[in-house]
Chain A
Amino acid sequence: MEQKPTSKILNGILQNDRKCQELLYKQFYSYGMSVSLRYTNNRDEAVEVLNDGFMKVFSNISQYDTDRNFTAWFRRILINTAINYHKKTIKHNHQELDEAPADLGQRQNALDDLSYQEMILLVQALPLAYRTVFNLYVIEGYTHEEIATMLTISVGTSKSNLSRARAHLRNRITQNQKEGATRHER
């Protein structure tokens, strides 16, 4: 069911009411974190992006059309905030494919056994440029042309980054599976 802030909360935010701001924050915290975690390197960055996104929501609440989906509007703000947060890095996509989270190797099985937390860790382990394209294309549903425009990159780069992101994720999942099996045999 679609979450929507009440008109009382919206009016309170228009008046810069701190309590209403807190209520909105609590209501959409989980949703907002689920978006920002996928676009950032770690939890601290995710909180920073989330809070910056909420700041934009508070200051632009008058622009929100109450007839439309609040989460879609909020999601767009968060994605833009996250993209801007890493804009320069995204354009220079020569990041190394490393920095896998330490605890990913603890699992024995592949996709079926991966929790949300581990999925996030896998995504966060992707190089920033790959991760952003992967999120925008797979999770958000944008086309390569649209992603190219959003990130100011070429369509070819977008496609290439997606392909590499998938390959990287596949390798990490397989690697984790193998490491888990080895430990299990011991």
Chain B
Amino acid sequence: MNDKELDDFFRKQSENPDIPYREEDWGKLREKLDVSPPPRSINGSKQGYEGWWIGLLVLALITGAGLGWTLLRDNVQNPEAKSEQSVTARVLNSDSTTSADDFQETDKTDHLTAEDPHGGIISISTPNPIAIPIADGTELEGLIDKRTSTTSKSAGFGPSSNKMVVAKPLKPSQIIPIKVNPYNIQHLSPDIVTNVQEDQIQGSLLKATRKQIPISKPALNTGRIEGSRFYTTLTFAPDVSALKIKDIRGLGNSVGLNVEYFFHPKISINIGALYSFKTYQAGDGYSTGYMPAPSQVSGDCWVLDLPLNVRYYAFNQELSRWYVTTGLSSYLMLKEKYDLEYTSSNYGGSAYGNSLEVQNKNQHYLNIVNLGVGYERVLTNKLSLQVEPYLKLPFRGIGEGDITLKSAGAFVGLKYGW
């Protein structure tokens, strides 16, 4: 029997066999389906779609829990906070035209206007005096109204919400350096008090007037968090990945944590860990080394993304700020699954396919450039919400196929200040 006879025999035998159906075989599959039903897909992407909703749900739950906890805590502490915010102004000059009682603060914000032609200074104290000093011209640039002294209670990021009490322009010799943490609202609280030595205002002629402006409640007791430069952000992002825009296959996602450290009032360093699912397809660009390149690739990758970024807070407003982020990411490819399609040269012109799955094989350290622009909004004195559209651009091929897989998405993060 030659090769042809043998081949023909097996080929013929393989045609249309009648294999009796067995109910128990379906039973096995039914059990499997009951335990883990086949995932629904968006244009072929299954896990990404499910992950999107699961991620959103988790984020919503965590956000709700965080807000609830914070509000509850604030309510419990509020009475004490109110009493602590009672501010008394005392003019340390016998010639003053006002008295301490005139500055007794109620539930409203005091705006104190003081004028002292001799450069005199108002000193204000509270039941829990925190030694905050008058500003140094450079460090507190913008923080001090040199003609007015102002207190306010709103939560916010910085200068406009500062509670500084100042009189008329100080001479350089009269300016006392202060140590105010300017990294966030939390360091600039309503409890802040100016405290100036008496000999600086001796002999000054001071006139102070007062007007009251209603403020929104509840007042936030934020004065106790001093000096923190660390923030943690729980983040989630829908993610699209592709070699080319036309090849976008479906939606991936990222979930993870980011730790932020401010080494400058406007600049922070960020490290994080994101568990990402990326799904894509490609017509070309996938390399199989010495093997022929497939005509079509569909890929699902589970990646541990370790970003190392620098963030610059460019625009700070009372309740919001804008920032830009850049840095590098490391991709640890936890699992890669590819469906490769090849065009057949002799099998009736039909394509054939192959699947490939690898785990923990490819790691790319600091190979991906991160770019992002973000917006941050204050929710409470400790929590804020961030939204940051981003791009991730590898400058070397990644994964088993050595592809330049670009990713884009938008981080939605809940940021917590320690």
Contacts and interface: CB of A to CB of B under 8 A. Distances in A.
Contacts of B5: 111
Contacts of A143: 344-347
B1 to A, nearest CB: 6
B173 interface: no
Contacts of A25: 26, 29
A142 interface: yes
Contact of B347 (A22, A110, A116, A141): A141
Contacts of A166: 3, 6-7
A37 B19 CA distance: 10
Contact of B21 (A30, A60, A83): A30
B346 A141 contact: yes
Contacts of A134: 10
Interface string B13-25: 1101111110001
B39 A59 contact: yes
A116 B39 contact: no
B10 A138 contact: yes
Contacts of B11: 138-139
Interface string A117-144: 0010001000000000010001111110
B40 interface: yes
Interface residues of A, number: 52
B396 interface: no
Interface string A12-35: 000010100110011001100110
B42 to A, nearest CB: 9
Contact of A111 (B1, B14, B39, B339): B1
A62 B46 CA distance: 11
B46 A51 contact: no
Given A22-B26, A111-B1, A170-B6, A149 B342 contact: yes
B349 to A, nearest CB: 11
Contacts of B352: 76, 79, 142, 146, 150
B357 interface: yes
A135 B203 CA distance: 105
Nearest to A26: B21
Given A76-B353, A142-B344, A152-B291, A30 B29 contact: no
Nearest to A163: B3
A26 B32 CA distance: 16
A10 interface: no
Given A55-B32, A142-B352, A29 B344 contact: no
A102 interface: no
A78 to B, nearest CB: 11
Given A18-B30, A29-B21, A30-B19, A59 B355 contact: no
Contacts of B14: 34, 38, 119, 139
Interface in B231-267: none
Contact of B25 (A50, A81, A145, A152): A50
Q: Which 8 A-B pairs have the closest CB atoms?
A: A59-B38, A58-B38, A51-B29, A119-B13, A33-B19, A30-B19, A34-B17, A138-B7
